[in-house]
Amino acid sequence: MNSAVSAVILAAGSSQRMGSPKALLKIGGETFIQHIVDVLHSARIVDVVAVLGFEAEEIKKHLGQFDGKIVLNGHWQNGQLSSIIAGLDALDSPNVQAAMICPVDHPLISQSLVVDLLQAFWKSRKRIVVPTYGGRRGHPVIFERSLFDDVQTAPPEEGARAVIHRHPGDVIEVPTDGKGVVTNIDTPEDYELNILSRFV
């Protein structure tokens, strides 16, 4: 059942504020991107697309035995939406019913969170599933396939958020006590506070 939901990992940005690719930062001995792949697989999401751009070759070297699809976003400078578009374009199987969008700078996801989001998608029949922490919406987000065109044609400055705002009746929020859904590792200070202090 869960295999009909694919995952798209967004790891194409230049990580300017971090100073090095966020995909290659370590969490518990693994790179961010490998950790996210492992969590997705542990929740039985087997179809995973990794969207790379900046430092793509270096990130590929650290992906180990990744058996998913790697997509190169040649327009990564255009922002996150360009990577979402590239990832959704790669989901060409007719069996794909939805996509879970996973930014690589939100690595603090867990198997239980992913399972909760999947169950909410199947049980609620809602087209958008969003985790929340303390009333704040976070990541990853599931979009049903029927919304892929809407996501791909969203205003670049708003990105996929525009689709969520446009379809409020199609959204189910999944509360979680895991702060990771709203924790963006964007700077060395973020990394020190949220990762190094907890996992090293």
| φ, ψ dihedrals at 28, nearest 5° | 60, 35
Instruction: Please compute the mean of the pLDDT values over residues 73-81 and round it to a whole number.
Output: 92
Amino acid identity of residue 187, one-letter, is: T
Superfamily of chain region 2-199: Spore Coat Polysaccharide Biosynthesis Protein SpsA; Chain A (3.90.550.10)
Q: How far apart are CA 58 and CA 124, in angstroms?
A: 40
The larger pLDDT score, comparing residue 189 to residue 64, is at 189
Instruction: Please compute the mean of the pLDDT values over residues 104-123 and round it to a whole number.
Output: 97
pLDDT digits (tens, 9 = 90+) for 23-59: 999 998 899 999 999 999 999 999 999 999 999 999 9
Domain residues of the chain, as ranges? 2-199
Provide CB contacts within 8 A for 1, sequence distance 6+. 122
What's the confidence (pLDDT) of residue 2?
46
∠ Cα 94 72 78 (to 5°): 105
Q: Around 131, how many Cα atoms within 13 Å sit in the side-chain half-sphere?
A: 28
Q: How far apart are CA 54 and CA 15, in angstroms?
A: 9
On whether the CB atoms of residues 51 and 73 are closer than 8 A, the answer is yes
Range name among 27-31, 34-38, 67-71, 196-200 with the lowest pLDDT average: 196-200
For residue 19, the Cα-to-chain-centroid distance in whole angstroms is 21
pTM score over 0.75: yes
If we measure between CA atoms, which residue out of 186, 180, 190, 139 comes closest to residue 21? Answer: 186
Residue 20, pLDDT above cutoff 50:
yes
Quick check: helix, strand or coil at residue 107? coil
On whether the CB atoms of residues 57 and 21 are closer than 8 A, the answer is no
pLDDT digits (tens, 9 = 90+) for 2-19: 449 999 999 999 888 887
The larger pLDDT score, comparing residue 2 to residue 162, is at 162
Phi-psi region of 96 (alpha: psi -120 to 50; beta: other; left: phi over 0): beta
CB count in 10 Å sphere of residue 148: 19
Amino acid identity of residue 92, one-letter, is: D
Q: How far apart are CA 138 and CA 133, in angstroms?
A: 7
Model confidence at 72, pLDDT cuts 50, 70, 90, reads very high
Quick check: helix, strand or coil at residue 178? coil
- The helix-helix angle for 111-124 and 32-42 (nearest 10°) equals 50
pLDDT digits (tens, 9 = 90+) for 134-152: 999 999 999 999 999 999 9
